[in-house]
A and B are shown apart, each in its own frame.
Chain A
Amino acid sequence: MSPSPGQVWSRSLVPVLGGFAFVSLLGWVVPASRDSYLAYVAGLAGINVVLAVSLNLINGVTGQFSLGHAGFMAVGGYVAAGITTAIGGEYQLSFLPEGASDALLFFAGTLAGGAAAGLAGVLVGLPSLRLRGDYLAIVTLGFSEIIRVVIENLSITGGATGLIGIPPSTTLSWIFLWVFVVVIVSKRLVASTHGRALLAVREDEVAAEAMGVNTTRYKVKAFVVSSFFAGVAGALLGHYLQILSPKDFTFVKSIEVVAMVVLGGLGSISGAVMAAVVLTILPEALRPLQDYTGVDLRMVIYAGLLVVLMLVRPRGILGSRELWDLCPARKARTTEPTS
């Protein structure tokens, strides 16, 4: 039963177009990230949202436990930065003003970074996704560590020092834009037949396979989409901090992202968004605590939170529900029970 033209416009196209417009305007309104600490943290939060929502696709929607997100981030970041630093300083499109040309280069670099990360996702996913639960976690962690070791050793990636002098191309607008894209893509993916297959894989992989779902293929697809956005996040981060260092991409980073997805609720996109924001702001808000106590308790609190969360409310904030499921119009429209 195909939707009518009016429904296509109202439910599909208008929100997306409106979203783009809103996001672009938002960038004009919010102060630049260099002038306001709050804006700076908001930027970091946005990047973490991209990470969390993309990881949610694998860990939450598909039910596979990946501990390798940092590796994909690194791949995307280094590829994008490599492009912008190699080309950006010297060339620009002559028919565009320099700012626009740099922005376009940055966009191209980000896409390239995402693509490289997606490719890495295929290479990591294909052999690994046959494994279940704990094994997949360790294999993805292993891949992520290998990527980090390689980056630390190659001189083209700057080795232990990392890539420095990356142009500060990431603005809050870009971050909002990508947050918007990742959320929309996630949401649409989950609602589509692909998403159904992924949810089936999560609920009962054997039954899904019996129903004719090519589980490996769908798992790899989810992996690729997820790692694409991880790469984008890496590119955004590199151009936000103007430096990329292998120290930022250890498995501790992967675990931080996992914590965000778990806190938000495995499978919930809006949960991942909220959790990413909370877990970015929380360490920053706790900084004054250090002044009073003289010691930095942030990691202790972070780890403690993870343990307490799993013991007390393993479903996280939203479980597998979404924030927008609360909207009454939507409730009336959907006929199947919300999971």
Chain B
Amino acid sequence: MTELAQHLINGLSLGSVYALIALGYTLVYGVLQLINFAHAEVFMLGSFAGFYSARWLPMFREEPRFLAILAVAMAACAVVGLAIERVAYRPLRGKPRLNALITAIGVSMLIQSVGQLPFFMGPSPQFFPSLLADGQLLDLGGVSLRKLQAVTFVSAVVLMVGLHRLIFHTRLGTAMRAVSFDARTAALMGIHPDRVIAFTFVLGSALAAAAGILVGMSYPRIEPTMGVMLGLKAFVAAVLGGIGNVKGAMAGGILIGLVEALVVGYGTSSYRDAVAFGILILVLVIKPSGLFGRAVTEKV
């Protein structure tokens, strides 16, 4: 029984990581119908931003520094996200979607390979410093819950709720939704699609940075390729929940985390990666619009 409870906690904890990253994917896809493959790399850059600012910026040498470093990382990644959108995605706005997809893959691999160059981050893993003192939150009869796990989960929920409010209860959110339905008509209604899209990327990248910091704190080994598998699985989570749907991203992330924990715990641990992809295939075959998505009929 304790085993099951522990597995569930592990699953929720890992799942909130997937959810955090998935939020960024779903946000950009919702507005642009683009799978932003580079999102995983922005996540990685967020971790490294935290690492370098803790190391180099003198004001951050001692704790408490969590919120400050978080802010720095989010700002840095917002800039990166903006740059990527401007340079790589905006010129391809009217072109076939395939082109943007290929570019996204290219940008993702570019950031990874540049990051591995000795001049930049280098290929070796680095130790992410402690920003918040970790410790046991709960320890009931062998079932352990750590502070950072709770922080990660709560952060994911808070960000999801905040995002949801933004999208459905603010003017900016309405503008984002309008652009996602029909950018040209939205422009006719007085919305600047370019600005809205830029803002979407800023938001998505900031979310990625937050995820990067939280992951760095909980799993203090960071390296340039850390975003690859996490990014893929988070994307699967976004699709599972219904891509474009914020609640779906959260639900998808948690679900994948739980299923992985249970499969590895009670089944076979060596096929772990296949679990996420298996779920993906099942979802896309049975209900492509995902758990919370609505089936869209294609009009001619």
Contact = CB atoms under 8 A, between A and B. Distances in A.
Direct contact of A and B (CB under 8 A): yes
Taking residues whose C-beta sits less than 8 angstroms from the other chain, chain B's interface range is 35 or more
A128 B280 CA distance: 11
A311 B87 CA distance: 9
B218 to A, nearest CB: 25
B58 interface: no
A310 B106 contact: yes
B113 A303 contact: yes
Interface in A127-150: 127-128, 130-131, 133-135, 137-139, 141-143, 145-146, 149-150
Nearest to A139: B284
Contacts of A252: 109
A133 B97 contact: yes
A49 B102 CA distance: 20
Contacts of B232: 141, 145
Contact of B110 (A131, A207, A303): A303
Contact of A262 (B97, B102, B271, B285): B102
B106 A131 contact: no
A258 B102 contact: yes
Contact of B280 (A139, A306, A310): A139
Given A206-B300, A300-B117, A142 B35 contact: no
A153 interface: yes
A265 to B, nearest CB: 13
Interface in A98-142: 127-128, 130-131, 133-135, 137-139, 141-142
Interface residues of A, number: 40
B98 interface: yes
Interface stretch (B6-14, B65-73, B88-96, B170-178): B88-96
A152 B268 CA distance: 14
A134 B101 contact: yes
A53 B277 CA distance: 27
A311 B91 contact: yes
B118 A143 contact: no
A251 B92 CA distance: 24
Contacts of A134: 33, 35, 97, 101
A310 B284 contact: no
A149 B235 contact: no
A138 B102 contact: no
Query: In this complex, which of A141, A142, A255 has the most chain B Cβ atoms within 10 angstroms of its Cβ?
Result: A142
Interface in B141-180: none
A62 to B, nearest CB: 12
Interface of A: 65, 127-128, 130-131, 133-135, 137-139, 141-143, 145-146, 149-150, 152-153, 206-207, 252, 255, 258, 262, 266, 295, 297, 299-300, 302-307, 310-311, 314
8 contacts: A134-B101, A135-B284, A139-B280, A145-B277, A255-B109, A295-B119, A297-B117, A300-B114
Interface of B: 33, 35, 88, 91-92, 95-103, 105-107, 109-110, 112-114, 116-119, 232, 235-236, 239, 270-271, 273-274, 277-278, 280-281, 284-285, 288, 298, 300
Given A146-B281, A303-B107, 12 more contacts: A128-B284, A131-B288, A137-B35, A142-B277, A143-B277, A266-B98, A300-B110, A303-B110, A305-B106, A307-B88, A307-B106, A310-B99
